[in-house]
Amino acid sequence: MQGIQDISEAARFLAARRRRVEAACAFCGRRFEGTTRRRYCSRSCANKAYYQAHKATIRERQRETYRRRKGLQGQQEEGQR
């Protein structure tokens, strides 16, 4: 159990040493405080930015899923008659 506590203490120590900066969110522009690697103020903004950057691919995947479901449902309905 002592080893786990040492790891937790080490993790807390390293987290406290990370450099904190004030930045603007790359999606909404809101100011936030975070580490140097952070680009978005929240997970929501990160998700919206990803969707915006990959919109065509995501929409095509959704259409394909819809077509597959409709195709399977149509076959099931024909088989039941």
7-27 pLDDT per residue, tens: 889 888 988 888 899 999 999
What average pLDDT does the structure give for the chain?
A: 87
Q: What is the mean pLDDT of residues 45-51?
A: 97
Intra-chain end-to-end CA distance of the chain, in Å: 65
Where in the sequence is the domain holding 17, given as residue range(s)? 2-80
Lowest mean pLDDT among 11-15, 20-24, 37-41, 77-81: 77-81
Strand 31-35, strand 20-24: pairing: antiparallel
DSSP 6-31: HHHHHHHHHHHHSPEEEEE-TTT--E
pLDDT band at 81 (very low <50, low <70, confident <90, very high): low
The residues that bridge with 35 in the sheet, in sequence order, are 20
CB count, 10 Å around CB of 26?
13
Look-up of token digits 């479901």:
69
DSSP letter assigned to residue 81: -
Domains of the chain: total: 1
pTM confidence score? 0.62
